[in-house]
Amino acid sequence: MLDGKRLLITGVLTRQSIAFEVARQAQQAGAEVVLTGFGRARRLTERAAAQLPCAADVLELDVNRAEDLAALGEALAQRWSALDGVLHAIAFAPPDALGGGFMTTPPESAMSAFQTSAFSLKALVGSLQPSLAAAPDGASVVGLDFDASVAWPVYDWMGVAKAALEGVARYIARDLGPLGVRVNLISAGPLETAAASGIPGFDRLARSWQSGAPLGWDPTDGGPVAAAACFLLSDMARGISGEILHVDGGFHAIGAPSP
């Protein structure tokens, strides 16, 4: 499905990362993959990269540093004649922007969540725009989302940042569509990752999916989300842009759990 595709995958920290499973499935489907990491955590990314079916290179990227974004664009332009796809799996909110203190979160923490979790999609895609536009069959940008159409317990300003991410994705889809670049998000059910462990009350939220999703939901299995990402990165999704694909066991369609 992805034979010959050249993909950049962000957000791999450990084997439990959703992005790791996307990279693994993409390689199995024939893609060539490069990962990103930064700072001290880059060593964890490199360790995970070595455990993929084909060991992948890791490039430095702090998405909030203009220098890193420029260097990443140059490095990929030198490596490949074009970039066929990108996975944006980047999000962060300070501790005081999560956990139920929505009304007392300081503005700088809310803005930090927005910059890293939403504006970063525009920053990343902008730095890679020439390589994406050069893809002969069109390029695909896929971002990881969490349903922002409603308010969730404890999710607070990260929920607001995800709503912003959805808006940013639509505007990028508008502006880069004429260049053959499509932009879509996956609204995933809760999964047990390193990022999720930093959300107070995550276990309670995940249990809601297990009881309310018509198809059921396994918070330890990122496979269904990764499979959907590979579909959106493939030519089979070449007519889809500006979409939010729910991969949550059907939870989003149900008003209340069945008795």
Write down the pLDDT at residue 49: 98
Write down the pLDDT at residue 255: 86
Instruction: Name the residue among 162, 140, 138, 143 with its Cα closest to residue 151.
Output: 162
Chain segment 42-65, per-residue pLDDT in tens: 999 999 999 999 999 999 999 999
**6-247 fold:** Rossmann fold (3.40.50)
Question: CA separation (Å) from 102 to 63, 74, 94, 151?
Answer: 25, 40, 12, 11
Q: Is the pLDDT of residue 3 over 80?
A: yes
Chain segment 4-48, per-residue pLDDT in tens: 999 999 999 999 999 999 999 999 999 999 999 999 999 999 999
Chain segment 135-187, per-residue pLDDT in tens: 999 999 999 999 999 999 899 999 999 999 999 999 999 999 999 999 999 99
Catalytic (active-site) positions: 155, 162
Lowest mean pLDDT among 28-42, 92-106, 115-129, 244-258: 244-258
Write down the pLDDT at residue 202: 75
- Helix (H) or strand (E) holding 47, with range, is helix 42-49
Interstrand relation of 181-188 and 139-145 (parallel, antiparallel or unpaired): parallel
Write down the pLDDT at residue 245: 98
Judge whether 216 and 249 are in contact, CB under 8 Å.
yes
Chain segment 62-103, per-residue pLDDT in tens: 999 999 999 999 999 999 999 999 999 999 999 999 999 999
Using CA atoms, how far apart are residues 206 and 66, in angstroms rounded to an integer?
Answer: 36
- Locus of tokens 């909110």: 93
Interstrand relation of 85-88 and 181-188 (parallel, antiparallel or unpaired): unpaired
How does DSSP assign 175-210, residue by residue? HHGGGTEEEEEEEEPP---TTGGGSTTHHHHHHHHH
* Confidence band, pLDDT 50/70/90 cuts, at residue 204: confident
* Confidence band, pLDDT 50/70/90 cuts, at residue 248: very high
